[in-house]
Amino acid sequence: MAPALVLVPAAFASFILAFGTGVEFVCFTSLQPLLGGSQKLDRDTRQEWLIALQDPGILAALAWDLGLVLLFVGQHSLMAADPVKTWMAQHFGVLQRSLYVACTALALQVYYHVLGLGEPLALKSPRALRLFEHLRHPVCVELLTVLWAVPRLGLDRILLAALFTLYLGLAHGLDQQDLHYLRAQLQRKLQLLAGPNIGDAE
């Protein structure tokens, strides 16, 4: 009963998060921000779109975007197909998943290269890089949850969970500068979220 009491709210929260992310994605990809809040395409706007779609530069950019989307979708769909997974399991064994992740990372590197973004970490500020040096990846919290949130803990499981907890804890060394940076980022996010509401109120 106890695991169900924990897993059901967690699953529901995960669903709400995924649903909210989908809603945000639809809002982001809609035409409304491009049209200044207008929900209708008037004649002038349609004419502007027709002219834009006749521009070779815009068409080339759309072609590149379409190619990058197809690269991402193709790599994920192809390597997730049962025949491909069976072939990879026969030839690579336990390295099958690692190869899948490596190909995904390669697809992302192509994306960064085409857009001229270079190394992802090079886009981060020095304060953000300093923060990354003082803590483990946030996904490690999920790892600790998986290791500890079980109905029964055997001796081997307790040893594994304790060692990983110690490993992650020793590497977590935030100081005052990191905390100030995190607080500033939180305030910035809150201001961005409150911006439209403030504008509407004025």
Q: DSSP readout, 172-188?
A: ----HHHHHHHHHHHHH
State the pLDDT at residue 3. 57
Regarding predicted confidence, which is higher, 102 or 14?
102
- What is the predicted pLDDT for the residue at 26? 64
Average pLDDT of the residues in 181-196? 84
Regarding predicted confidence, which is higher, 17 or 65? 65
* Residue 201 pLDDT: 45
Between 199 and 188, whose confidence is greater? 188
Spans of all domains in the chain: 55-118
pLDDT of res. 142: 79
Q: Pick left, alpha or beta for residue 124 (phi over 0 → left; psi -120 to 50 → alpha; otherwise beta).
A: beta
Rounded to 10 deg, the angle between the 56-80 and 96-114 helix axes is: 180
What is the DSSP secondary structure assignment for residue 111, as one 8-state letter? H
The predicted structure's pLDDT at residue 66: 86
This prediction's pTM: 0.45
Cβ 31 vs Cβ 49: under 8 Å:
no
pLDDT exceeds cutoff 60 at 41: no
